[in-house]
Structure 1
Amino acid sequence: MRILFVGDVVGRSGRTAISQYLPGMVRDWSLDLVVVNGENAAGGFGITESVYQELLDAGADAVTLGNHAWDQREALVFIERAPRLIRPANFPRGTPGRGAALIEAKRGQRALVVNAMGRVFMTPFDDPFAAVGNELDACPLREAADAIVVDFHCEATSEKQGIGFFCDGRASLVVGTHTHVPTADHQILPGGTAYMTDAGMTGDYESIIGMQKEEPLRRFITGIPSGRWEPALGPATLSGVAVETDDRSGLALRVAPVRVGGRLAPALPGFWAG
């Protein structure tokens, strides 16, 4: 399978990059599965039903969330009728929605998408290792799913690396989100799972983690909030990671970073060229 994971879409600029670049990627790279993190897609904070549909219409097969899942209150309601919208699996019992979904990919393959949230320097929800482990046990790679993608929404690099090795050999891809900066450690772990500590954001990088610079800078300098954080509106870089899996095992054969548009140096998966 050919899998593309797209990092945190931030505001209108990020959504514009998705609509501009993603349909062509799906076509030109013959993608089987596209997973997009959309937790910052609506005005930089949360997601709405119309934005969720916009991401699907552009080519996403599943949309994952994170700590801003409920910043747009309507998400608490519409997530129940949005089967491809996936919030962290380790949210408390009774939280609306689902933490994993077995979806049909573009050519009929079965793909399990799991979302979880870290606890280091974040709200200490339930154990993410146990939550992810339960989802992998319930839908094993090769037996019940042709591919498995785990989006670990997490602050600490060490915790992301830990979940990578915890899932090694049981998932096709483990990728971190949340910090909005792409890392250079894309690799295939010893057990065959593709891994990247953070996919980066799909947003304007002339910013502070996707937000207009003035208010964050003012807070750093003075310690005094004086306004809302607003998404930066310049041209966005679509950032993510591409993975090709073995059809027999579901494990990764190749992994590469993806960066298109905006300010960052471009990066394309050369193994899909032509």
Structure 2
Amino acid sequence: MRILMIGDVVGSLGLKTMSVYLPKLNKLYSPDAIVVNGENAAGNGRGIGKAIAREMFELGVHCITLGNHAWGQAEVFDFIDEEQGIVRPANFPVGTPGQGFTVIPTQAGKLTVINLMGRTFMAPLDCPFRKMDEILEQVPTDSCILVDFHAETTSEKQALAWYLDGRVSAVVGTHTHVQTADERILSKGTGYLTDVGMVGPYDGIIGMERSAIIKRFLTQMPVRFSVAKGRCQFNAVLIDIDKQTKKAKHLKRIRIDEDTPLIS
């Protein structure tokens, strides 16, 4: 099974960038499943709307994962319970709208996509480690398993990956928007990448307009952030999984930087 996991899509530029490169990558690599983190895909970089989700699915995306900005757009509550292709962090408290994992049928077999959120420097959610133990008891035994761990620190991401080594096919980190160069296969066969990176503005600071963020660091005062414009970037990871053993065989990072503006 081949999975294309695409990093956090940021704002309208991110969605436009994905619409340009995803068809080309789909043709080049022929993935069995395409998963994308869409928690920043709204125009202001927070949350996701129904029209955005529809556009992603029309581009060939099989599953959209979320994160700490899952509720950034009020309209998400109108459709998240109905959309089987969208998963929010599974360790939100019981009763939270939406689902924490889903099983996707592909030509290469079943793929279970699980979304979790870290707790270090983030909201005090339920324990992602124990939540994974609960979820794995419900996952079909004949399914490959991809975990999107939306977390801040490298140590927490690595700890979860080692905790799950041999029990899931791959653990891929999202949230920091900066692609890491540490892709590897752990000793018991779980593929791992600390952070897949982002899709959207290249000249911003993690996708946001630079001056506002610099001002905040200089003044320590509240500042309104906005999505940057100009050149774009596309970050993803291609994961090959053995259909029989459900273990990772190879990971390939994908990074595309544009030298000229995609849109003004």
TM-score range, shorter chain: over 0.9
- Partner in structure 1 of residue 251 of structure 2: 255
Q: Distance in 2 between matches of 1:136 and 1:181?
A: 29
1:154 alignment partner in structure 2: 151
Which secondary structure state, in structure 1, belongs to the residue aligned with residue 201 of structure 2? coil
Corresponding residue for residue 144 of structure 1: 142
Distance 1:251 1:234 in 2: 39
Structure 1 unpaired stretches of 5+: 264-274
Please tell me whether the aligned partners of residues 35 and 61 of structure 2 are also in contact (alpha carbons under 8 angstroms).
Answer: yes
Moved over 4 A (4+): none
What is the DSSP-based 3-state SS (H/G/I as helix, E as strand, rest coil) of the residue aligned with 1:80?
A: coil
Out of 204, 208, 211, the residue aligned to residue 201 of structure 2 is: 204
Which residue of structure 1 aligns with residue 103 of structure 2? 102
Q: How far is the alpha carbon of 1:167 from its aligned partner?
A: 1.2
2:262 maps to: none
Q: Paired residue for 1:232? A: 228
1:204 CA displacement: 1.3
String of CA shifts for 1:231-258, please: whole Å, max 9, x gaps. 1122321101111111211111111111
Q: Aligned partners of 1:261, 1:209: CA distance in 2, in Å?
A: 14
C-alpha contact 2:42 2:49 (8 A) present in aligned 1: yes
Q: Which residue of 1 aligns with 2:217?
A: 220
Q: 2:72: which partner in 1?
A: 71
Q: Counterparts of 2:231 and 2:50 in 1: how far apart (Å)?
A: 24
Matched residue count: 258
Q: Which amino acid aligns with 2:13?
A: S
The residue identity in structure 1 corresponding to 2:53 is Y
Return the TM-score normalized by structure 1: 0.91
Distance, in Å, in 1 between the alignment partners of 2:206 and 2:130 is 30
- Which structure's residues are more often strand, by fraction? 2
One-letter amino acid of the counterpart of residue 251, structure 1 = K
1:5 & 1:37 partners in 2: Cα distance? Answer: 8
Q: CA deviation at 1:225?
A: 2.8
Cα deviation code 1:103-154 (max 9, x no counterpart):
122x2621100000000110010011111222122215xx231x21100000
CA contact (8 A) 2:113 2:145 kept: yes
Determine if contact 1:112/1:149 at 8 Å carries over to the other structure: yes
Contact 1:215 1:225 in 2 (8 A): no
Q: List alignment gaps of at least 5 residues for structure 2.
A: 260-264
The root-mean-square deviation of aligned C-alpha atoms, in Å, is: 1.2
Is the 1:13–1:235 Cα contact (8 Å) retained in structure 2? Answer: no
